[in-house]
Amino acid sequence: MKKFYLAFFFLLSFYTLFAGGGNIPVGARSSAVANASVCYSDLWSAFNNQAGLAGIKKFTAGVYFENRFGLSELGVKSFALGVPAGESAAIALSGTYFGYSLYNEKKVGLGVGKSFGKIKAGIQLDYLSTVIAENYGTRNAFTGEAGIIAEPLQNFLLGFHIYNPTQAKMADYGDEKIPVMMRLGALYKFSEKVLVSVEDEKEVDAENSVKAGIDYRIAEPLYLRAGFATNPEIGSFGFGLQFGQFVLDAAASFHQVLGFTPHISLQYEVK
């Protein structure tokens, strides 16, 4: 019962900020570095920065699970499919389900990323649905997101991503806004083994969140990661393991008040 009230309080607070439609970060690799991942280029770029989709060279599929603060009512379930479209572009279909029967958010996106030499660009169309039981019912909306990743210097990347640039709303009644979110970050490759990333995330009408993370390949199949974010203060750590055509990523993040959140993702790349 205690867990139920905690979940209800969290969701109520979440709803008073905006009527659903927020851009939920996805991918255990991203979670392990406190989501300082706007410069990453992998399958989970379908959620974090569509410009990174240009890095997909083979058909890739993945699933992601998160049990926020150990509560099933705050669970996140996601999938992504990436397909190359020529030598320098890729298309991705993605989807996310957050919540449970009395409150849930769903997002389905179709995105594309393309490389133009030292610059990658991406764009995505999203369909959103928010369900709250009793009198609220269901609200649906369309929005979009776009991003860019540039390499102005060797081994140094800059990334920018914007979510809901059109300022779409879930409903005109009550001015139920979908948040506009912007991310600006940088990544430096110290070597083939060490990546360090920093990022600033800004949601309109909210304070900035600063994030930083490190991704270290300790051995050929094994990666160790850690990160930290502000507003709220969250520490994170995790690992990645590549075996054959599979990649397993796991992470845990810690909120000083609400506790631990486990994250896990698995992806498969066709030869």
| Model pLDDT for residues 244-253, shown as the tens digit of each residue | 999 999 999 9
pLDDT of residue 12: 42
Q: For the segment 118-170, what is each residue's pLDDT rounded down to a tens digit?
A: 999 999 999 999 988 776 778 889 999 999 999 999 999 999 999 999 888 87
Over range 25-42, report the average pLDDT.
96
CATH number at residue 184: 2.40.160.60
Question: CB neighbours of 193 closer than 8 A, spacing ≥ 6?
Answer: 216, 217, 218
Residue numbers of the domain that contains 201 = 2-269
Q: For the segment 76-125, what is each residue's pLDDT rounded down to a tens digit?
A: 999 999 999 988 999 999 999 999 988 999 999 999 999 999 999 999 99
Over range 12-39, report the average pLDDT.
77
Q: For the segment 42-86, what is each residue's pLDDT rounded down to a tens digit?
A: 999 999 999 999 999 999 999 999 999 888 889 999 999 999 998
- As a whole number of angstroms, the distance between CA 234 and CA 210 comes to 10
Neighbour-count burial of 53, counting CB atoms closer than 10 A to its CB (0-12 exposed, 13-18 middle, 19+ buried):
buried
pLDDT of residue 172: 61
Q: For the segment 226-244, what is each residue's pLDDT rounded down to a tens digit?
A: 999 999 899 999 999 999 9
pLDDT of residue 138: 85
Question: CB neighbours of 59 closer than 8 A, spacing ≥ 6?
Answer: 81, 82, 83, 84, 269, 270
Domain count, the chain: 1
CB atoms within 10 A of CB 113: 30
For the record, the structure tokens of 87 come out as 């030598």
Instruction: For residue 161, give Cα distances in angstroms to 44, 213, 215, 252.
Output: 14, 18, 21, 24
Q: For the segment 161-212, what is each residue's pLDDT rounded down to a tens digit?
A: 999 998 888 766 556 788 999 999 999 999 989 999 999 999 988 889 999 9
Find where tokens 């996106």 sit.
109
For the record, the structure tokens of 133 come out as 């039981």
pLDDT of residue 169: 84
Nearest of 62, 135, 80 to residue 103 by alpha carbon: 135
pLDDT of residue 173: 59
Q: Are 221 and 241 in contact (CB under 8 A)?
A: yes
Q: In the predicted model, what is the mean pLDDT of the chain?
A: 89
pLDDT of residue 7: 46
Q: Are 251 and 237 in contact (CB under 8 A)?
A: yes
Peptide bond into 232 cis (omega under 30): yes
